[in-house]
A and B are shown apart, each in its own frame.
Chain A
Amino acid sequence: MNFVRQSLALLRMNLEGERARIGSVLTIVIGVTCTVAVLVSMLAMGTGAHRQAVAGVRDDEVVIHSQGAQIVQSNISRDELVTVRDLPGIARDSDGQLEVNAEVMAPIEGRWRGTGRRVFFALFGTSDAKLEPPARLTDGRTFRPGLHEVIATNACVRQFDGFELGAKREVRGIDWPIVGHFDQGQSQQCVVLTDSETLMTAFGRNGYNQITVRLNAPSDYETFRRALEAKPSLHLEVKRQRDSVEERFKQFNGLLNFVSYFIGTIMAIGATFGAVNSLYSIVDARRRELATLRAIGFGGVAIVAATLVESMVLALPGALLGAALAWSFFHGMAVSPFGFSFQLDVTPHLAEIGIAWALMMGLIGGLLPALRAARVPVTTALRGT
């Protein structure tokens, strides 16, 4: 108990004296602030992109692709679609229609609004012209099957040229008018939809990229999967929609997180050197106090502990400030650094990571100065001027 009491007394004394060493304290705070702000902002990219990707995911939906293929290479024949529609466990909508959506993906080209830079994105063909929540039509009407009509998200209108209502997109030598605008929740992604059969005809395609199936209940997945795998004529594989999205995201997020932590680590190392310097000068300024304390019986361990806690306490405001800065500057900001747009998402979890990072910097940075504080030679320090 004596040790704890001593440490706490020391800590209080140290923190009360901090005002006199404002320069050193600010060095620590600013160093930690910059590091945490950068780390949290960069991690917020991955979080934001991930949140957007899983936003529309439903647990009762499964996606079907060709065996071993991602959506882009997948090629599902019409015969296979017919067989899939006969599988058990598929839900029906209010009109009694099976909830099976065969989708086609074709590349189209757009131009960024303002800069006119070229960008490629997907035109999706779907066999289901109804929009399901959270997607909802905000303007115009939906496309009619058999006609060359498309609908686009409002994000397209904001980001790219030529997506206004009534504008015509030229695709494969045909003019496709924009007949409606829709929103997909908070998503910033530009999505353009049309009828899948019309799109396949225009591109001379004979297969679908993906089939999305809604099951009666999420628990029907295993039954559905076994039934699908039991059909020898099907060269398809089924995944839960969530797993499929997560899989596609894993590599992207892995790279992003690696870069974030890499830069975060290097900045932390730099800031820690700065903190060590500041803490040394704080300890040095206290030599006589420390020597006096040792002389009246304070233990070395208590001094080490108090200095370590002090340095962590000094790192804390930087962490909070850094997370707050990241939040106020970047939370909700729409960016498109990888060719697609999403909003940065600064979550409490990221703030926690930032705080943990800062405490780590405080702990490591405080080690050497704490040892020096405990080793102050009593006699010379008291004798010196």
Chain B
Amino acid sequence: MKFLPLIWSGIWRKPGRTILIFLQVSVAFALFGVLQGLRTGVEHAVDAQRADLLLVHSREAFFYSLPLGLLEQIRSIPGVKVAVPVELSGGYYQKPENGGVGMVAVGTDGDWTAAFTFNIAPQYLAALVGSRTAALAQDLTAEKYGWKIGDHIPLVTRTPQKDGSTTWAFDLVGTFTDSDAGGGNSKILINFAYYDQARATETGTVNHFNVAVTDPRLAVPVADAIDRRFANSSHETKTESLRELAQVQVQRIGDLDFLIRAVVSAVLAALLFATATMMMQSVRERTPELAVLKTIGFTDRTVFLLILVEAVTVCVAAAAVGLALALIAFPFAARLVLGIAMPKVTIAIGLALAAAVALMSAAVPATRAARLRLASALAER
């Protein structure tokens, strides 16, 4: 404790220099926090995905269609609580430049919502089931296009209806939210029964079936049982949980991972060199003062520790400020990757790295300070 004032005065011996080093470390760790946070944030988002919701799709390719007839067979497999046919298509609203709106046609019988990550208010749920041309819009989608309940929404698609038109119109009866961040934020829910009957092509096929299991622990055996049931048939299936599908998504950005690591390494390398030079310079300038300290009885060890603690204090404090900045800036960066939060572990790693940078850059100057030869050091004055 008695050394605190000494360390404090060491830090503020040259305020300009300390402030600049402080800012440099802060900026470096702000960048570190955002980049590293994106990396680990994505990993955490994958782990947060539900492993007990299964998607049954064609073994050939994820988006090839399966016949609707598989539904009853899937429902008969022990452990399957709910199985729902899902057909995906898409269109755009008014102008193609607006971006796409996904049309998710679902079979709305029984407890179908158990097999989805959607959150739908009971009155909206009833309204969707109650009318054939009803649609529910995801909250963000309704917000983007300014849709109100009761609106008639035409979407231009490439799926022809029986009358040849490729424009589909739905009545908006409510909104819903999706807790699965990977599911995008531009989609509407519609009735599969209506959609399948109204379209001119591909009637009686679906993209995949959503399956909820009776017991989360049964997810893997149930998935295997479904795939075994259709093995060697004309429609072989592949059943994967939402978490497994998310992992596939994340693996696509594998090279991005390398990039982030490269940038972070470059930042830390430059930082390490800058702090090391500054510490070296600082100790060199203080040679006479350190010599005086030793003359009045400070041991080599104490002097060594004084220098180290000084460096660690500045670096860790600056890193804390930088990481706090990253925490504030993170939501803006995270917009590029939907729905991830900055994991707390990033902050811990950042602070540890800051301490490591400080120790490495101060080690040589501190050793030099500890080994000062009193006579020559004092003679320099």
Chain A residues at the B interface, C-beta cutoff of 8 Å = 23-24, 26-27, 30-31, 33-35, 37-38, 41-42, 68-70, 73, 75, 107-109, 115, 117-120, 170-173, 204, 206-207, 255, 259, 263, 266-267, 269-271, 273-274, 276-278, 280-281, 335-339
Assess whether A30 is in contact with B270, with CB atoms less than 8 Å apart: yes
Determine which residue in B21, B278, B336 has the highest number of CB atoms from chain A within 10 A of its CB, and name it: B278
Residues of A near B278 (CB, < 8 A) are: 27, 277
By a CB distance below 8 angstroms, the chain B residues around A33 are 270
**A263→B34 CA distance, assembly (Å):** 10
Q: A270-B267, A277-B278 are in contact. Are A336 and B24 (CB under 8 A)?
A: no
Q: Are A109 and B248 in contact (CB under 8 A)?
A: no
B31 within 8 Å of A (CB atoms): yes
On whether A277 and B60 interact (CB within 8 A), knowing A30-B273, A70-B96, A266-B31, the answer reads no
B255 interface neighbour in A259, A270, A278, A335, Cβ under 8 Å: A335
Closest chain A residue, CB of each to CB of B322: A270
When the two chains form their complex, are residues A274 and B96 in contact, meaning their CB atoms are under 8 A apart? no
Bound CA–CA A119/B262 (angstroms): 25
Sample of 9 A–B contacts (CB below 8 Å): A41-B262, A42-B259, A68-B97, A117-B254, A119-B252, A172-B64, A204-B202, A267-B31, A280-B20
- Cβ of A29 to closest chain B Cβ, rounded Å: 9
Contact B23–A273 (Cβ < 8 Å)? yes
Count, A-B residue pairs, CB within 8 A: 133
Query: Which residues of B sit under 8 angstroms from A35, Cβ to Cβ?
Result: 266, 270
- Known contacts A30-B270, A173-B60, A266-B31, A115 near B251 by CB under 8 Å: yes
The size of the chain B interface, using a CB distance under 8 A, is: 50
Query: Smallest distance from the beta carbon of B26 to chain A beta carbons, Å?
Result: 8
Instruction: Check if B48 is an interface residue, CB within 8 A of chain A.
Output: no
Distance to closest chain B CB from A237 (angstroms): 11
Checking A73, A267, A339 against B96 with a beta-carbon cut-off of 8 angstroms, the contacting residue is: A73
CA distance A280 to B259 in the complex (A): 34
Q: Do B21 and A267 touch across chains, with their CB atoms under 8 A apart?
A: no
Q: Report whether B62 and A267 are in contact in the complex, using a CB–CB cutoff of 8 Å.
A: no
B60 partner residues in chain A, CB cutoff 8 A: 109, 170-173
Q: A338–B337 Cα gap in the complex (Å)?
A: 13
- Given that A23-B280, A24-B277 are known contacts, is A270 also in contact with B61, CB under 8 Å in the complex? no
Asked if A120 and B24 make an inter-chain contact with CB atoms under 8 angstroms apart, the answer reads no
Query: In the complex, which residue of chain A has the Cβ closest to the Cβ of B202?
Result: A204
- Is B255 touching A337 in the complex (CB atoms < 8 A)? yes
